[in-house]
Amino acid sequence: MLNQVTLIGRLTKDPELMFTNSGVAYVKLFLAVQRPFKNNEGVNDVDFIPCIIWRKRAENTVNYCRKGSLVSVTGRIQIRQFTNKDDERVFMTEVVGEDLRFLKLESNRRRQDQEEAKTEQPS
């Protein structure tokens, strides 16, 4: 059986590195992915797809990506279920990213260089 998905989209916010209780690095992010067809108004709708990235890839994502970065995520679809505080069963679908590629690093580097230049200038 095959459970594989590849997405190309933009990060909806700056990624934030988190750690499990056992110290494993991960990042949760939403990827804005444009649909390949237009709606009735002639506009491509956008889906916001939750993804989770683990370990070194998570660290690299935080170090090199910002809100708006264009990335490719290849991974598998995972469905988690839990009971919320209202005692309702909740199902959450997310992509577990096994590979994340940076597609537009030059704009990220330029933005980072500009931010560093601002902090280095005397007041």
- pTM exceeds 0.95: no
**For residues 34 and 44, what is the distance between their CA atoms, to the nearest angstrom?**
6
CATH 3.30.2000.10 matches 5-117:
no
**For residues 81 and 67, what is the distance between their CA atoms, to the nearest angstrom?**
28
Q: What is the pLDDT of residues 15-33, one digit of tens each?
A: 999 999 999 999 999 999 9
**For residues 69 and 45, what is the distance between their CA atoms, to the nearest angstrom?**
19
Q: What is the pLDDT of residues 48-93, one digit of tens each?
A: 999 999 999 999 999 989 999 999 999 999 999 999 999 999 999 9
Neighbours of 123 (CB within 10 A): 2
Average pLDDT over residues 39-48: 93
Confidence of residue 104 (pLDDT cuts 50, 70, 90): confident
Residue 31 structure tokens: 């990827």
DSSP string of 48-110?
EEEEEEEHHHHHHHHHH--TT-EEEEEEEEEEEEEE-TTS-EEEEEEEEEEEEEES-HHHHHH
